[in-house]
Amino acid sequence: MKTSKQIRQEYISFFTERGHSFVRSAPVVPHDDPTLLFTNSGMAQFKDIFLGTGSRDYNRAVNSQKCIRASGKHNDLEDVGHDNYHHTFFEMLGNWSFGDYFKQQAIVWAWELITGVWGLPKEKLWATVFEGGDGVDPDEEAEQFWWKETDIQKNQVLRYDKSDNFWEMGEVGPCGPCSELHIDLGEGTCPLSDQHECAVNVEGCWRFVELWNLVFMQYQRFPDQHLEPLPAQHVDTGMGLERICRVLQQVDSNYSTDLFVPILGKISEVTGTEDKEGEIGVAYRVIADHLRSLSFAIADGAIPSNEGRGYVLRRMLRRATRFGRVLGMEKPFIHQLVGTLSEVMGEAFPELPAQQKHIEKVIESEESSFGQTLDRGLEIFEQMASSSGTSERGGLSGEDAFKLYDTYGFPVDLTRLMCDERGLSVDETGFEKLMEEQRTRAREAGKFKMTLDDWTEFKEGESEFVGYFQFEAESEVLRYSSSGNDEWQIVLEQTPFYAESGGRLPIRGR
């Protein structure tokens, strides 16, 4: 059986032997792209080339990109755990041509790697092309290349519309048709076959699995939505490592590949439970998946917080912590899994072992902080969910959801998850209204004028020192005061700054 390390390296070697430069994965936390919370595709670090604002000293590239899809348009967070293929973190194998080869060579090489190097059965493979629409002709060129340059069965090259086979960077900018390669895993591999007819591009079908997407950027879309040919044509391809490992390792789930089995085994060891179907299995998959996203994001500089990407991480960690309760874990444990992840993926991504101690400390601190309120919050949720008012409404009120968020730190998607498990809905409109009222109060609080020498208190509590494992932190102000001579005293909810004590000088600055 091929290991994930072998599969990753065979992909990279296949293309470096064909003139591609190996480019290391960009950080999963994009430091120079304000439009992204997380790097969510292999093409992200090459976006400037496609937009015509940048260049490289190579015109062919190959890499394995770390990706997180847990926010915005591409968001798989709430699907994770309930099937065998959704992830918030995944690796995207990709090869690119920047104004060099185009459709013919991309298709030939894709077929050669899939069938020649990896030996997948040709009769099980299906290709899709763009059927045309919105003023764009059908991609007969790609269709002909599949028929003439490969030995795929002609009736297994299918046409689909824009929603499946046309890629766009945004409302304007580079775009073009794409061609996907799918594999039929055979009868009996889709547990939902009684709910739909299994076929290529059927939503939720587990039998027909997309392996590879070949994007052919050949148009520029303008603000008035008309298209013009690009001066240089590009190829951007993407293949999920987890999926191709599942197929080549001949297992029934992405979570049964060697990318996950050691992590699931460590979860079993730490929790003293066995991976099963049902809620236990969901918990195992959620924890394993979220561990990967959290570890890579923290290794690349992100920290759980209450805003932006930091809040996405906080939501994931709190979801994983809650699923830990399903496994009977009432104390922090997720940080104990980081070492196993580092063993699995540290060779390809050395930042993991290099940052392992830091990752463990951040996760343990966050687990401990949330764990203090989680159990009480779960008790309150049970009371809310079983109340007569909830029963009459058929769901949790916005006020209840807001209380769980504001008092116990439950992200609304965690509340929604727990409600789904009980067949209840959540009044998210009411929740958002209360959230906006809180934001307004916070903005107004910033306008308060204070009496000199008096403390103005926003929130009760003690300041938590987090400087042992991080040098930056986002925090709320608990209270503040002024001496009247431009000197202020501020007490933060958490701070990485230390005061003078134990022979250490305090941090000073402006």
What confidence tier does 92 reach under pLDDT thresholds 50, 70, 90? very high
**CA end-to-end span of the chain, whole Å?**
59
Is there a contact between 328 and 272 (Cβ–Cβ < 8 Å)? Answer: yes
On the question of pLDDT at 484 being above 70, the answer is: no
Distance of alpha carbon 262 from alpha carbon 265, whole angstroms: 5
Q: Residues 39, 70: contact at Cβ < 8 Å? A: no
Question: Tokens in use for 305?
Answer: 């917080």
pLDDT confidence band for 483 (50 / 70 / 90): low
Q: Residues 395-413: pLDDT tens digits?
A: 899 999 999 988 888 888 8
Measured CA to CA, the distance from residue 405 to residue 397 in angstroms comes to 13
Distance CA(458)–CA(86), nearest Å, equals 41
Confidence of residue 122 (pLDDT cuts 50, 70, 90): very high
pLDDT above 70: residue 474: yes
As a whole-number percent, the residues of the chain with pLDDT over 90 amount to 60
Q: Give me the half-sphere count of Cα atoms (radius 13 Å) on the Cβ side of residue 445.
A: 15
Given pLDDT bands bounded at 50, 70 and 90, which one contains residue 171? confident
Please, which pLDDT band fits residue 470 given cuts at 50, 70 and 90?
low
Residue 467 reports pLDDT greater than 70: no
332: Cβ–Cβ under 8 A, 6 or more apart, which residues?
363, 364, 367, 368, 371
* C-alpha span between 184 and 245 (Å, rounded): 15
Residue found under tokens 């067949």: 423
* Dihedral-angle region of residue 201 (phi above 0 means left; psi in -120 to 50 means alpha; beta otherwise): left
Residue 306, number of CB atoms within 10 A of its CB? 12
Least confident segment among 289-303, 334-348, 365-379, 462-476: 462-476
Q: What is the pLDDT of residue 74?
A: 58
Q: What is the pLDDT of residue 445?
A: 62
In the sheet where 477-482 sits, what is the strand order?
A: 456-457, 477-482, 488-492
pLDDT recorded at residue 494: 84
Of 10-14, 375-379, 398-402, the range with the highest mean pLDDT is: 10-14
Q: Are 30 and 44 in contact (CB under 8 A)?
A: yes
How far is residue 358's CA from residue 361's CA, in Å, rounded to a whole number? 5
Beta strands in 223-273 (DSSP E): 227-240
* Residue, of 510 and 73, whose pLDDT is higher: 73
For position 135, what pLDDT does the model report? 83
Query: Please, which residues bridge with residue 387 across strands?
Result: none
Burial class (CB in 10 A: 0-12, 13-18, 19+), 430: middle
d(Cα 155, Cα 126) in Å, to the nearest integer? Answer: 9
> What predicted TM-score, i.e. pTM, was given to this entire model?
0.82
pLDDT at 185 over 90: yes
In 3-state terms, the chain is what percent helix, strand and coil (to 5)?
A: 40, 20, 40
CATH architecture, domain defined by 4-255:
2-Layer Sandwich (3.30)
156, burial (CB in 10 Å: exposed 0-12, middle 13-18, buried 19+):
middle
For residue 448, is pLDDT > 70? Answer: no
H or E segment to which residue 494 belongs: strand 494-495
Q: What is the pLDDT of the chain when averaged over all its residues?
A: 89
Q: Please check the confidence at residue 487 and state whether its pLDDT lies above 80.
A: no
Average pLDDT in the 435-452 region?
Answer: 67
Average pLDDT, stretch 234-258?
97
Asked if residue 55 lies in contact with residue 223, where contact means CB atoms within 8 angstroms, the answer is no
CA atoms in the 13 A half-sphere facing the CB of 369 = 20
Q: When comparing pLDDT for 33 and 252, which is higher?
A: 252
What the block records as the tokens of 448 is: 């308060």
For the chain, the structural domain boundaries read 4-255, 260-385, 386-447, 450-510
Higher per-residue pLDDT: 233 or 455? 233
pLDDT at 346 over 60: yes
- The arithmetic mean of pLDDT across residues 324-353, rounded, is 97
- Does 453 score more than 70 pLDDT? no
Containing 290, the helix (H) or strand (E) segment is helix 278-299
Instruction: Report the pLDDT averaged over residues 416-426.
Output: 88
For residue range 488-500, list pLDDT tens digits in order: 778 888 887 755 4
Amino acid at 243: R
Q: How confident is the model at residue 327 (pLDDT cuts 50, 70, 90)?
A: very high
pLDDT digits over 41-86, tens only? Answer: 999 899 889 888 889 999 999 999 999 998 766 567 778 877 888 8
Res 195: pLDDT? 85
Residue 244 has pLDDT above 90, yes or no: yes
